[in-house]
Amino acid sequence: MKVVILDRDGVINQDSAAYIKSPEEWKPIPGSLEAIALLNQAGYRVVVASNQSGIGRGLFDMATLNAIHDKMHQALGQVGGRIDGIFYCPHTQDADCSCRKPRPGLLEEISRRLGVELAGVPMIGDSLRDLQAGAAVGAQPILVLTGKGKKTRKDGGLPEQTLIHNDLAEAVQALLS
């Protein structure tokens, strides 16, 4: 089984320092939905691993998170794409949980649920914590320069073997070529 793991905010959709708190605030990055559809057509299962501390902070509730994800699923469906699973950490950084990236708990859960080893699996994110979580499970860290990506690259400290692409569409093209 071929799998690709994506962060959500800053990779699939525009990010916001004030969090994505409503379906109206969720706006896809140009080309990202079509890139996911290309992955699906190439036989990849696409899953999302996302920190959603806005829940733990009380900025939005589960019903709102589900509504945001419904909008994402509908937008993907319009271009022939789909997300096969969404895994998220609702905790704040102070919770010291194992599922909040950069810790690998979310990715380990993906591995368990899908019954797949993550060695070499592409983990595409825009922040250092995405890449660190991927590296912790042996996945291939891929940085996109959308969202926080340019700052992440500038700050340095990327895991070894990190690949860098301008956006999800370019990363997918490289993966499929």
What is residue 1's predicted lDDT score, i.e. its pLDDT?
87
Mean pLDDT, to the nearest integer, of 154-162?
97
Percent of the chain at pLDDT > 90 equals: 97
Please tell me whether residue 149 adopts helix, strand or coil conformation: helix
Mean pLDDT, to the nearest integer, of 68-88?
98
Q: Which residues are catalytically annotated?
A: 7, 9
Contact 173, 144 (CB under 8 A): no
Q: Structural domain boundaries of the chain?
A: 2-176
> Does pTM surpass 0.75?
yes
Mean pLDDT, to the nearest integer, of 100-117?
97
Average pLDDT, the chain: 97
Please tell me whether residue 42 adopts helix, strand or coil conformation: coil
Please tell me whether residue 169 adopts helix, strand or coil conformation: helix
What is residue 116's predicted lDDT score, i.e. its pLDDT?
96
Query: Which pLDDT tens digit goes with each residue over 25-62?
Result: 999 999 999 999 999 999 999 999 999 999 999 999 99
Query: Which pLDDT tens digit goes with each residue over 132-147?
Result: 999 999 999 999 999 9
Residue 100 Cα distances to 4, 91, 107, 132, angstroms? 19, 7, 10, 11
Contact 69, 28 (CB under 8 A): no
Residue bearing tokens 């950490």: 89
Contact 133, 123 (CB under 8 A): yes
d(CA 83, CA 101): 20
Mean pLDDT, to the nearest integer, of 90-113?
95
Mean pLDDT, to the nearest integer, of 5-18?
96
109-133 as b/e, with b when 16 or more CB fall inside 10 Å?
bbbeebeeebeebbbbbbbbbbbbb
Percent of the chain at pLDDT > 70 equals: 100
Fold (CATH) for 2-176: Rossmann fold (3.40.50)
Beta bridge partners of 86: 48
